[in-house]
Amino acid sequence: MALRMWASSTANALKISCASKSLLSLSRCFATVLDGLKYAESHEWVKHEGSVATIGITDHAQDHLGEVVFVELPESGGSVSKGKGFGAVESVKATSDVNSPISGEIVEVNSKLSEAPGLINSSPYEEGWMIKVKPRSPSELESLMGSKEYTKFCEEEDASH
């Protein structure tokens, strides 16, 4: 328990959250970055579990995009390529491409987003997931950023503008 409390306060100091709902609730005043996920410079996240990788956009991205009113997603059974667009979100009169951090075959698409695109804003790492992919090359995950690296990346990006 003591170790958990220490981990929690340290995580908060570093602005990193563990993938648990209680810690997520502390972080709405700044962009949340979850530990255990991998991140692309174009602000998508990947959660690799077994043979499936789940992909969505980060809290930083949804915060900068504004209210999402429409989500364009591919069909299940299609393929995605690392660094290439697979869909788009619409917010504030703009469509913004969403790029896949990895290559693979799409095995599931989040159909809830057609009726509730705002899930991307309210729950970017959970209910707002976009596609699930069977990775073609698991080594692609290694080239992505971890949570600390991504946090620093976001801070530097915001500071430079």
Partner 1 sequence: MLLPQTRNIGLPMMNLMRFKGLPILQQLHIEEQLLRTSSENWCIINDGTNDPTIVMGVSGKPAELLEIESVLHDQVPVIRRFTGGGTVIVDHETIFVTFICNKEAVPDLQPYPRSIMSWSGSLYSKVFQGIGDFRLRENDYVFGNHKFGGNAQSITKNKWIHHTSFLWDFNVRNMAYLKLPKRAPAYRSARGHLDFICRLNDYMPRSTFIDKTVEAAGTQFSLRSLELEAIETCLETEFRPSTRFLTSEELEVAAAVAGQ
Closest approach of Cβ 74 to partner 1, in Å?
A: 13
Burial 126-143 (b: 16+ CB within 10 A, else e): eebbbbbbebeeeebeee
Nearer to partner 1, 97 or 149 (CB): 97
Taking CB under 8 A as the criterion, the residue among 17, 91, 100, 110 binding partner 1 is 91
For 6, other C-beta atoms within 10 Å of its C-beta total 10
β-strand 104-109 against 94-99: which pairing, if any?
unpaired
Which residue number, 14 or 88, has a Cβ lying nearer to partner 1?
A: 88
Are the beta carbons of 82 and 140 closer than 8 angstroms? yes
74 binds partner 1 (CB under 8 A): no
Instruction: Tell me: does residue 149 bind partner 1 (CB under 8 A).
Output: no
Question: Is 21 in contact with 28 (CB distance < 8 Å)?
Answer: no
Residues within window 15-44 making contact with partner 1, judged by CB under 8 A: 42
Residues in 104-143 at the binding interface with partner 1, rule: CB under 8 A? none
Catalog residues that contact partner 1 under the rule CB under 8 A: 42, 64-66, 69-70, 72, 83, 85, 88, 90-97, 99, 157-158, 160-161
